[in-house]
Homo-oligomer: A and B are copies of this chain.
Amino acid sequence: MTLSLRERRRQETARHIQRATLELAMQSGLENVTTEEIAVASGVSARTFFNYFANKEAAAIGHPPNFSEEDKDVLRNGTASLAADLKLLLDKQIASMAEDEELLRMVGRVLRSNEKARGILEGFLMAERREIADCLSHRAINHHTAAALAKTVTDTIGGAIYLWEHDGNMSLGTALDTVWEGLIDASRTLSLPAD
């Protein structure tokens, strides 16, 4: 886990560029900011900007951290109910996001107004869902059930952030609990009466 000087600098520059991108986007909207302006604000050349991110939308979103092996082990070999283990994962993810609420708010604002950014995020989420579904494959009835559960994870995080952004002074954790309850209610609705 020790990074070379080069790697540390690279990460730092990437974060730096993301900040600059988001701050400019908050002022004028990402559409109205040029890559040139972002590069200047980040202290790198326009060409170097594209060595770090494929485009300004990707710069605004940044490089999201991967799931830890620890988290995935809980999903694979957890002893509690599946629902409880999933909720645990959600709590952890939301807690880590709550560490920088301002960043989250800025990213959220970009995502709401920018189609390309939404597409890039979808790409990240697809990869995450694949990972989660993989971890669940032993515990779920079959592949499709695992996929449906994985989707609920990313959806619930998205829903919680959305609620937190729109409902004035609800904490991220409370928003998660609220959306989670809605999900459980929806699951009851779907599973109880039909067939």
Is A1 among interface residues, defined by CB-CB distance under 8 A?
no
A107 interface hit (Cβ, 8 Å):
no
Mask of A153-195 contacts with B, CB within 8 angstroms, 1/0: 0010001000100000000000000110111111111111111
Report yes or no: B144 in contact with A182, Cβ–Cβ below 8 A: yes
**Residues of B with C-beta under 8 A to A145:** 182-183, 185-186, 189
Asked if B144 contacts A178 (CB within 8 A), the reply is yes
> Given A144-B159, A147-B159, are A194 and B123 also a contact pair (CB < 8 Å)?
no
CB < 8 Å: which of B144, B189, B193 contacts A140? Answer: B189
The count of identical subunits is: 2
> Chain A, interface size: which category?
35 or more
Closest B-chain residue to A87, C-beta based?
Answer: B194
Interface pair A191/B194, CB less than 8 Å apart: no
Nearest residue in B to A193 (C-beta to C-beta)? B81
Chain B positions within 8 Å of A163 at CB level: 144
When distances are taken between beta carbons in the complex, the residues of chain B under 8 Å from A120 are: 115, 119
Measuring CB to CB, which residues of chain A are less than 8 angstroms from any residue of chain B? 81-84, 86-87, 114-120, 122-123, 140-149, 151-152, 155, 159, 163, 178-179, 181-195
